[in-house]
Amino acid sequence: MERTLVLVRHGQSEWNLKNLFTGWKDPDLTELGIEEAKKAGARLQHDGYRFDLAFTSELVRAQHTLNLILEELGQTGIPIRYDIALNERDYGDLSGLNKEEAAKNWGEEQVHTWRRSFAVAPPGGESLRDTLARTLPYYVREILPEVLSGKNVIVTAHGNSLRALIMVLEGLSPDGIVARELETGRPMVYQFDAVGRVIEHKDLLA
């Protein structure tokens, strides 16, 4: 298998558990998050995936997830590239607030729009479109050329930085992305043709 790109959302973080908006804040994984990352690695190992190169964000929950996956694969020696472009969507003023309390304050519909819409930014933060505007150039410039050269690549990142990329990989519209939820620690596998089009994609069960 060549030209394979695997995307993984980090395992459960301390702030996922506490139900807090996280964004660019930097909590680590919970025990469950560690288990999820190890399971993702074990599943990839079981299915015979091997990687030449890895990308992750500058946030510890994504880096920790990657390290655990690579340990399960016995591939801790592969090159890892870290970039802020893969960081979670910046949640601005919502960062650190409880998601349920926010829904009480601003109303469920408003908070859902901030969390899942394409173009509406939370106060002081990034919309998914803003996030796409930084993840997509990074993908085209840094990740896609490696895939096109025949490498197998793994990316561990975040719910919304990955939702942005998935819009492009799966051809989803701004309406189509609203309902797309990414589970923690679930590998999403994309197979590319020689010119960088996705010819197959599947989510692996844990």
Q: What residues contact 80, with CB distance under 8 A and at least 6 apart? A: 53, 54, 55, 56, 66
Binding site for ligand 2PG (CB under 6 A): 16, 21-23, 88, 91, 115, 159-160
Q: Considering the complex, what minimum distance in angstroms separates the CB of residue 8 from ligand 2PG?
A: 14
Q: Judging by beta carbons within 10 Å of its beta carbon (0-12, 13-18, 19+), is residue 137 exposed, middle or buried?
A: exposed
Strand blocks (E) in the chain: 4-9, 53-56, 80-82, 153-157, 188-192, 198-203
Of the residues 72, 88, 126, 146, which is catalytic? 88
87 is in an annotated binding site: no
Nearest to 163 by CA among 193, 202, 135: 135
Q: Considering the complex, what minimum distance in angstroms separates the CB of residue 116 from ligand 2PG?
A: 7
126 is in an annotated binding site: no
Q: Considering the complex, what minimum distance in angstroms separates the CB of residue 57 from ligand 2PG?
A: 12
99 is in an annotated binding site: yes
Residue type (1 letter), 126: E
Does the active-site annotation cover 10?
yes
Nearer to ligand 2PG, 41 or 159 (CB): 159
Active site residues: 10, 88
What are the binding residues? 9-16, 22-23, 61, 88-91, 99, 115-116, 159-160
